[in-house]
Structure 1
């Protein structure tokens, strides 16, 4: 079996506080993320999912246990640049990541800092903007773009660094439904066509349902891990930690509670509609 691109081993973390010990935020997290996969990490605020994300490119370092990026321990300060070249981060608020007054200059910023030759930067910027559907906006001012467009420019800035993995920490939290759909389509396309490993941190069920693998967190622990259509069948367990399930699963689950024999694995609207049509016939 090939080495995972990200691995956490008994990862534990608590924030330092001058007034004494703070609560544990990550409590023994063991995860292996395969290169080329699309993994969603789902959980409430305070579940530890964003703290986990920040360990994946050494923004935070473990209080206990280990994080390995392509086999390199994130605690190895001498390898920090290698780690961050392997794993790029996209945050909630694109305004915090956009640094230039012109879209293409913003996307060029990180490769320039990495010392990439100018002709290679030009190629990377064009490729990255095309990958996120923003090439036609390359000469625009970022502050005039919509939220979804800004977030796609922020993603392009990370793509231009050519990381093998992109971790997105609630990238749609500040967007309207159209912006959310644009960003999610971009993420899926990137994973499918470029083979970039994607780790999507989210609290939206519909986003989590589109990943290949779903990791559910609560109180700093992983409480479920598997294919979304299997994980979402654990309706009672998810409700017990304050999470809901997609509306399709909820509807089928309520029918089951009423004694109707229907499967719970119809995640998409089309699959659910077919189950209901078969039921009525």
Structure 2
């Protein structure tokens, strides 16, 4: 069993409420362990607590109850904040909010400069990070002239240049068109597969969640399902009951099963679904 890089124990969180009112509980006793090197998607409806959970993973938010550990360090330890942020990098929904410079390579260099990395090392990291996200030839471009997907890949490069062991992406494709979404998802997968970076992807897109090795489903501040995507997506009724859909392939096979046709529910990809239907028709 690989070492866990992020661990929450009975994590509870409430945002501050107006005077006299009881603050609503956003996270309600979350126990979660994320193994080093894994690719985990956290799926949930708006208001399920998934983004609030993400912000606990690099101490943007601190628990109102329970504990969060990053590589064994308690996030409530103020002296360890820099170590925590070096270990876990965050990428947010809107790439425009993360871009700080007027030239792509300067933007990617911004975080390592702030961490006091020597300049030759920064140069090496910036080039490497931009190559990793397929944006090296745009290194001298102005970020504001790039497409949404390209900007988000630059934002990811900026986090990679810090050399974190884990990257948490909070709905990174929410503001992108289908092409941008696919570029970003390809980048995220490659990061995990080729560089061994732990990836935690917060999403409400079923097709994105299906790419992960493990799927954690949240509803009303609790984890309601946790396992490989094939296993989780087979629980069609349970997911629908918390306001989530399932991938179109699973939905089609589920409808067929409702009609009494014997097909497997775990054929996730288009190819597997087509194969299942082909076998049925033979």
**Band of TM-score, shorter chain:** over 0.9
Q: What is the CA distance between 1:22 and its match in structure 2?
A: 1.4
Please state if 1:5 is matched with 2:5: yes
Q: How far apart are 1:21 and its partner, in Å?
A: 2.2
Matched, 1:17 2:17: yes
- Is the 1:11–1:27 contact (alpha carbons within 8 Å) kept by the matching residues of 2? yes
1:70-117, Cα deviation, whole Å (9 max, x unpaired): 000000000000000000000000000000000000000000000000
Gaps of 5+ in 1: none
What is the deviation of 1:279?
A: 0.3
Q: For the residues of structure 2 that align with 1:97 and 1:171, how far apart are their CA atoms?
A: 12
- How far 1:17 moved relative to its partner? 2.1
Report the Cα distance in structure 2 between the residues aligned to 1:56 and 1:24, rounded to whole angstroms.
Answer: 18
Measured in 1, the distance between the counterparts of 2:2 and 2:142 equals 43
Distance 2:101 2:242 in 1: 42
Matches of residues 174-189 of structure 1 in structure 2 within 5 Å?
174-189=175-190
How far the C-alpha of 1:18 sits from its partner, in A, is 3.5
CA distance in 2, matches of 1:191, 1:26: 27
Change (3 A) 1:2 1:186: closer
C-alpha distance in structure 1 between counterparts of 2:118 and 2:245, whole Å: 48
Contact kept in structure 2, 1:3 and 1:71, CA below 8 Å: no
Tell me the equivalent position of 1:254: 255
- The count of aligned residue pairs is 281
| Contact 1:37/1:191, CA 8 A, preserved across alignment | yes
- What's the CA shift for 1:62? 0.2
- For residues 173 and 272 of structure 1, the distance between their equivalents in structure 2, rounded to whole angstroms, comes to 27
Given that 1:42 and 1:202 are in contact with CA atoms closer than 8 Å, whether structure 2 keeps it comes out as yes
Distance 1:3 1:133 in 2: 30
Alignment-derived partner of residue 42 in structure 1: 43
Unaligned residue ranges in structure 2 (runs of 5+) = none
| Partner of residue 94, structure 1 | 95
Q: 1:127-169 deviations in whole A, cap 9, x for unaligned?
A: 0000000000000000000000000000000000000000000
d(CA) in 1 for partners of 2:110, 2:40 = 28
In structure 1, the residue matched to 2:275 is 274
Alignment of structure 1 residues 1-281 onto 2, 5 Å: 1-19=1-19, 20-281=21-282
SS at match of 1:62: coil
Shift of 1:2: 4.5
Cα distance in structure 2, aligned partners of 1:94 and 1:260: 45
